[in-house]
Copies of this chain bind each other. A is one copy, B any other.
Amino acid sequence: MSTLLVGIDADDTLWHSESHFAVTEKQFTDLVRPWIDDVEAKQLLLDQERMNLHVFGYGVKGFTLSMIETAIAVSEGQISLEAISEIVGWGKKMLQHPVELLPEVEDTLIQLTANYRLVLITKGDLFHQESKIAESGVAGLFERVEILTEKSPEQYAAILNRCHVGPDQFVMVGNSLRSDVLPVVELGGQGVHIPFELTWGHEKVDREGLTSKWHHLDKFGELPALLDQIAQTRSNSNEPLTGL
């Protein structure tokens, strides 16, 4: 067993999430097309979501309320109450959508548990995240589950503290450079970026000027080989372990 602690993101790393948001966003742009074109509708919805983030936090319920606000605003009060009910229904449907694991996830996680301590690190709505984790069938493969309101360097540092490891013993894996990779690299840990085909506007980062280094993988199934390489490099290094 390596001393590496491996943090793994959930939404769009272990299972589909953004694709459900995209389906709903498409329904939303259809709904408001009488008043506004699709590109502008998406932009105004994203603006509304961002404006509401400090009040609602992340998650489907806040997204649903932001859709309602945007629909009323762009229609200048002309949209029907049936449409509002429909939006609430989309939110409920998203919250109850079955969890769909991404390819290679289950087998890869099982393989990783033989050599690494795994911790699931996700952000967003506590109730929805717990529901998905329980339903996923892979929760038992993780030493612990951490659900955060924001993936900041401070929140990652608190997790490392609870797990009694230093940043040099920590590797974080996820689809978001902003949330999964950059804050961990800033802290002195290593980040593994496995992009998903879709990225929410708020999670996009301008790569210009980014000088930090991180690992990049195309597939979740490539993770064991990379981690073995990281663990090997660490054990060959002369640097003393700084973990507690």
User: Residues on A close to B: CB < 8 A?
Assistant: 52, 55-59, 61-62, 64-65, 68-69, 72, 77, 79, 81-82, 84-85, 88, 91-92, 95-96, 125-128, 130, 147, 149
Say yes or no: B77 contacts A127, CB within 8 Å: no
CB-CB < 8 A to A69: which residues of B? 85, 88
Complex Cα distance, B61 from A72, in Å, reads: 18
Complex Cα distance, B91 from A65, in Å, reads: 10
Distance in Å from the Cβ of A63 to the closest Cβ of chain B?
Answer: 10
Complex Cα distance, B56 from A81, in Å, reads: 21
**Candidates B61, B64, B84; contact of A84 at CB < 8 Å:** B84
CB-CB < 8 A to A52: which residues of B? 92
CB-CB < 8 A to A57: which residues of B? 125-128
Complex Cα distance, B149 from A185, in Å, reads: 31
List the 10 closest A-B pairs by CB distance, nearest first: A57-B127, A126-B126, A61-B61, A77-B81, A127-B149, A55-B95, A130-B149, A55-B92, A72-B81, A72-B85
14 CB contacts below 8 A, A to B, read A55-B92, A56-B95, A57-B128, A58-B127, A61-B65, A64-B65, A65-B65, A65-B91, A68-B68, A72-B84, A77-B82, A125-B126, A125-B127, A130-B149
Complex Cα distance, B85 from A128, in Å, reads: 25
Complex Cα distance, B84 from A72, in Å, reads: 9
Complex Cα distance, B125 from A29, in Å, reads: 29
CB-CB < 8 A to A64: which residues of B? 65
